[in-house]
Structure 1
C-alpha cells in the first residue's frame, strides 16, 4: 500500500471515529461560536455541543471570569428560544448580569442545593431532558466516575453541559470533552478611553478530546466574541497616556 493510500485510510478512520462519538463534521455553513482560532483546537474545527465542558478556577476573580465567559457561550447556544438550568451550592452569579451576554435571565432556572452530591445528581437528571439547551453546575471537585455519568446522560439527550470547579483540591482525570481555564484581563472600550469597557479574558484549553490544547485572548461585545492580542490593550493605554502628557 502506498503512503498516500495509508494516509487517506487513517484520515477516513479518524473521521469515522469522530462521527461515532457524535462529533459533527465541518461544513461550509457550520455556525461558529465566534472564538476565532481557538475553535480550530476542537475536532473538525467545530465547538462540541451535546458534551460536558469542564472549567477550573482557583480564586474568586477566575470564578467570576469563568461565569462571564460561560455566559457568552450560553448566549450563542440559547439564541432566542433556548433555556438553561444553573445548579450550585455556591452563589457566584448575579442573574441580571447575564443579560449583557444576550441571555434573558427568565430563560434560566437557578437551583440552589446544599450538598455537592445533590448538585451532581440534579445535573445528571437535568441533562437527560431533551428540551433543555444547556445545564451548568458549580462544584468544588469532580472525579472520573462522576464525569462519566454526566457524559452518558448527554450522549442520549445531546444537551450541552458545563461544570465549573471552584478551587479544586486536585485536578483529577475526567471524561469531559474539554477542560478550560479562564482568567480576567483589563477591559476594552471601543473609543480607547479609560474606565470600564467590555470584558476580556485569557482563555486556555488545557485539554481537548481528539483535539489540541490552545490559548487565546477573547473579548465580548454586543456583537459577540472577538479575539485580540494583549498588545492591543498596551497600545491603547500608551496612546491615551501620551495624549494626556501633551
Structure 2
C-alpha cells in the first residue's frame, strides 16, 4: 500500500508541475478558494478555478458587458476576501462602484485608474500584475494582440496575481495567451410564486479552457454566491456528419 501511495503522490506532483509550466497556479491558495461554481469546477484543470492566470471575457453588446461585469465581480468578491486590493483599469469607465457591494465587493478596496488609450491600459495592467500585493487586476479594453497578452501571462506566472481582460465590442476574437475565454449573457430572473423582480441570472459560457472542458452553465446570484440552475455540454457536430444525419433522416 505504501508503494501505491508513493506512486500516486509522484503522479500528483508531476501533474502540478505540468500545470505550473503551462501557466496555472498550483499553490495551496488555488484549492482553498471556493468561488461557488459547483459542478463547473470539473471543467477546470485540477478541479479548481485557475488563479494566478489571465482570463479573457468577451462582450459583444452592452447587456453582455453588464452581465460579464456582474460575473467578474462575483469572482472578485472571493479573491478579495482577505482584505485584498484590486486594480481596475479602463479608458471609459461605466461601472457604478457602489453597486459592487451587492456582489460582495467593497468599492473602497478597488483602485480605479482611467487612461486615454488602450495601449496605456495594457501598460498599467502589466505593471499591476507584477505587484504581488494585489489580489486581482482588471482591464477593460477592446482589442489586444497575442504578443501583448503573452507579456501579461508572463507577468502573472511570477507574481501569481489573477488578471481579467474584459474585451467589450472587440473587432475580432483572435487567439490570445490567456488560459480561458468566457462569454456571459444576461437571463431573465426567476420570480417564483410571488410577482416582482427575482435574483440576477446569468448564462456562463466557458468557450475555451486550457487542458479543461468547455461548457455552458446558468447561475443565479443569491445570498452572496452563485447558485447553479442548469448545465449543458457543448456538442460539436462536424458538417459531413450533420449532412449524413439529414440524408438518413
1:219 counterpart residue number: 220
Where in structure 2 are the equivalents of 1:96-107 lying within 5 Å?
Answer: 96-107=98-109
1:175 to 174, 177, 184: 177
Distance of 1:72 and 1:217 partners within structure 2:
14
Contact 1:25–1:44 (Cα < 8 Å) also in 2: no
2:39 to 26, 37, 40: 37
Contact 2:90–2:121 (Cα < 8 Å) also in 1: yes
Distance of 1:68 and 1:204 partners within structure 2:
14
2:80 counterpart residue number: 78
TM-score (norm 1): 0.83
Change (3 A) 1:103 1:26: closer
1:111 partnered with 2:110: no
Root mean square deviation, CA, Å: 2.2
**Structure 2: which 5+ runs fail to align?**
1-7, 232-249
4+ residue segments displaced more than 3 Å:
8-16, 19-23
Where in structure 2 are the equivalents of 1:166-245 lying within 5 Å?
Answer: 166-189=168-191, 192-229=193-230
1:125 partnered with 2:127: yes
**How far off its partner does 1:16 sit?**
3.5
**How far off its partner does 1:215 sit?**
1.1
- Secondary structure, aligned partner of 2:219: strand
- Deviation track 1:68-101 (CA, whole Å, cap 9, x = no partner) reads 1101000111114111011101222110111101
- Deviation track 1:17-61 (CA, whole Å, cap 9, x = no partner) reads 11444432799x743211111121110111011100100010000
Distance of 2:206 and 2:49 partners within structure 1:
12
Q: How many residues align?
A: 221
Change (3 A) 1:26 1:158: closer
2:154 counterpart residue number: 152
**How far off its partner does 1:12 sit?**
7.3
Contact 1:26–1:45 (Cα < 8 Å) also in 2: no
TM-score (norm 2): 0.82
- Deviation track 1:116-143 (CA, whole Å, cap 9, x = no partner) reads 0001001001111111000000011122
Distance of 1:19 and 1:113 partners within structure 2:
33
Distance of 2:176 and 2:79 partners within structure 1:
24
Distance of 1:51 and 1:158 partners within structure 2:
7
